[in-house]
Structure 1
């Protein structure tokens, strides 16, 4: 029989703090240009709340 509990030596995982990363206007422009020809363009266009479509 063992004299100690080996599970007592295990370090429990720590909770990671979430740091959000937001898109700025320049990153959104690049994203819209990259997906303009795809169906997801309209999804991103709607979700981001852009008022006018890209030229």
Structure 2
């Protein structure tokens, strides 16, 4: 039986975690209240910067 990972949030970090889990043989379920990849991921355009 495969292990299951529940990922809360479908942004770049959540999807990356789910992707890595899948590569390791896990079953990954991604849950987001909005559109997958449609929130901060699109606004940040891949940039990780400190918020001051």
Structure in which a larger fraction of residues adopt strand: 2
Structure ranking higher on relative contact order (CA contacts 8 Å, 6+ apart): 2
TM-score (norm 1): 0.28
Rg: which structure is higher?
Answer: 1
TM-score (norm 2): 0.29
